[in-house]
């Protein structure tokens, strides 16, 4: 919801101050919305109906941000948190207090609200959200942080809004039991070898992060340890990335200590992916998502399809049997190399992949391939810039299928497409991320 004007007589909450707040709704991004003396306050950890004591973290002119420090009275619809770490609700599952049915209702509402309020759109069909198959233990990738703990390094998530505090995790209920075991094994190794967590402030220590990725169908677990350049005993992981943490830390060299590629099956095809290539984090729901995208694409077997933001080629390759030809474009060269190998591995001969950015790569793609009949878009959370939407418009495709992980950036992109002559025909949310406010949806645009 949009922040409201601040009345002249309301005193601005100060940073660090505490307020008693009743949460009345949920904002995009998942925080609770409350009002304090005319201010709108966005409260992390607050759900509708809750009365909370919250600490102001960012007082701004027209609204403030705050984090719940105590739940004084739970809302009537709240359900008990079941994913707790050191007694605190898991920062990775901030909506776990909301019954799953309500999470779905809220996500459906937020997609509609974004399109109507931000995009000023109407007349489209909003199809029923596809619920998740698994409400817990669905994530195939999790990134954990190291921090100081009792008895050696702690390994878990940063407490919400606290970069200096890592909450140690024994069982993350978003990850599988096998993924949890892999993380705990690495923590025990760090403790037994007395390898220190990296301390950002003091700039001392070694261990930064651990990324655990899982092939849900292949049964493979891949671990990647991220450390500073300090020397330490050989870790029991598959990959090791060294970062120059002192300078703010960009990725350093990655060394393979075990299996380098992660394998997975999706929609009946075999895929392999590099450690830095994107892969949908909910394998089972990725199939549902791609199913909706394929239905919206409505391919008859002859179309030229552009798969922009193609990653390792998954969407385009799963549609290739129903298309004339598929052309993928993606900025990460390793992902493109993976996509080419994935096409070959699955005996798909009508798909080509090019490395490049959507901003500069679409025009050369049209020159090489010709104009597409269907464009698939699956950008990261910021969505498309206006310029990239213009490049997409130049393709003059009959249909655009937009897979979005952020309805608030889909909305302005959709408005620009509609302004240029496309009709937003239908939209369908797909719940890829239960217990969290993250929303995925698919939208179909047709040219008149």
Ligand X SMILES: C[S@@+](CC[C@H](N)C(=O)[O-])C[C@H]1O[C@@H](n2cnc3c(N)ncnc32)[C@H](O)[C@@H]1O
Interface with ligand X by CB under 6 A: which residues? 278-280, 309-311, 314-315, 329-332, 335, 357-359, 378-380, 405
d(CA 248, CA 406): 27
Whose Cβ is closer to ligand X: residue 227's or residue 282's?
282
Beta strands per DSSP E along 84-220 = 84-85, 88-89, 125-126, 141-149, 152-158, 166-168, 207-214
Whose Cβ is closer to ligand X: residue 303's or residue 330's?
330
Q: Collapse the DSSP code of 270 into the 3-class scheme (helix H, G, I; strand E, B; otherwise coil) and give the result.
A: strand
Whose Cβ is closer to ligand X: residue 25's or residue 357's?
357
Whose Cβ is closer to ligand X: residue 40's or residue 305's?
305
Beta carbon of residue 214, minimum distance to ligand X (angstroms, whole number):
16
Beta carbon of residue 307, minimum distance to ligand X (angstroms, whole number):
7
Tokens of 161: 């809004």
* Nearest in space to 403 (alpha carbons), one of 237, 256, 278: 278
* Nearest in space to 378 (alpha carbons), one of 448, 440, 317, 291: 440
d(CA 246, CA 203): 6
Beta carbon of residue 444, minimum distance to ligand X (angstroms, whole number):
16
Q: For ligand X, which residue has the nearest CB?
A: 311
Whose Cβ is closer to ligand X: residue 33's or residue 299's?
299
Beta carbon of residue 313, minimum distance to ligand X (angstroms, whole number):
8
Beta carbon of residue 404, minimum distance to ligand X (angstroms, whole number):
9
Beta carbon of residue 391, minimum distance to ligand X (angstroms, whole number):
11
Q: What is the DSSP letter of 96?
A: T
Query: 37 has which bridge partners?
Result: none
What is the spatial order of strands in the sheet that 125-126 belongs to? 125-126, 422-430, 440-447, 399-404, 374-377, 304-308, 325-330, 351-355
Whose Cβ is closer to ligand X: residue 120's or residue 363's?
363
d(CA 427, CA 27): 20
Catalytic residue among 90, 395, 405, 441: 405
In order, the DSSP letters of 186-204 are HHHHHHHTTPPBPBTTTTB
208 is catalytic: no
d(CA 2, CA 4): 6
Half-sphere exposure (Cβ direction) of 120: Cα atoms closer than 13 Å = 5
Residues annotated as part of the active site: 405
């Amino acid at each position: 919801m949009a922040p409201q004007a601040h009345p002249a007589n309301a005193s601005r909450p100060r940073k660090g101050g505490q307020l008693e707040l009743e949460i009345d709704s949920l904002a995009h991004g998942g925080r609770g919305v409350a009002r304090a003396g005319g201010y709108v306050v966005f409260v992390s950890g607050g759900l509708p109906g809750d009365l909370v004591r919250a600490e102001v973290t960012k007082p701004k002119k027209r609204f403030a941000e705050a984090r719940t420090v105590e739940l004084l009275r739970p809302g009537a619809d709240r359900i008990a948190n079941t994913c707790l770490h050191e007694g605190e609700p898991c920062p990775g599952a901030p909506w776990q207090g909301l019954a799953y049915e309500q999470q779905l209702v809220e996500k459906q509402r937020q997609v509609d609200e974004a399109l109507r309020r931000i995009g000023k759109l109407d007349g489209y069909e909003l199809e029923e959200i596809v619920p998740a198959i698994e409400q817990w233990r669905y994530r195939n990738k999790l990134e954990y942080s190291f921090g100081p703990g009792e008895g050696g390094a702690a390994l878990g998530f940063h407490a919400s809004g606290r970069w200096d505090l890592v909450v140690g995790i024994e069982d993350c209920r978003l990850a599988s039991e096998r993924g949890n075991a892999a993380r705990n094994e690495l923590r025990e190794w760090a403790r037994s070898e007395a390898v220190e967590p990296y301390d950002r402030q003091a700039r001392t220590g070694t261990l930064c992060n651990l990324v655990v990725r899982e092939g849900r169908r292949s049964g493979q677990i891949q671990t990647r340890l991220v450390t500073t350049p300090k020397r330490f005993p050989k870790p029991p992981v598959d990959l090791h990335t060294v970062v120059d943490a002192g300078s703010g830390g960009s990725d350093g060299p990655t060394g393979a200590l075990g299996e380098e590629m992660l394998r997975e099956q999706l929609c009946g095809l075999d895929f392999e992916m590099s450690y830095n290539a994107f892969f949908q984090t909910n394998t089972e729901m990725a199939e549902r998502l791609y199913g909706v995208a394929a239905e919206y694409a409505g391919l008859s077997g002859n179309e030229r399809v552009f798969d922009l933001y193609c990653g390792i080629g998954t969407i385009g390759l799963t549609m290739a049997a129903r298309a004339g030809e598929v052309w993928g474009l993606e900025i990460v060269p390793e992902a493109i190399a993976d996509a080419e190998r994935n096409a070959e591995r699955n005996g798909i001969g009508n798909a080509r992949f090019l490395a490049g950015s959507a901003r500069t790569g679409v025009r050369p793609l049209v020159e090489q391939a010709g104009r597409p009949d269907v464009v698939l878009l699956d950008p990261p959370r910021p969505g498309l810039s206006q310029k990239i939407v213009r490049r997409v418009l130049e393709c003059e495709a009959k249909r655009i299928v937009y897979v979005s992980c952020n309805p608030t950036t889909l909305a302005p992109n959709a408005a620009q497409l509609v302004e240029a002559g496309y009709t937003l025909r239908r939209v369908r949310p797909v719940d890829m991320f239960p217990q969290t406010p993250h929303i995925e949806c698919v939208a179909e645009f047709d040219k008149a």
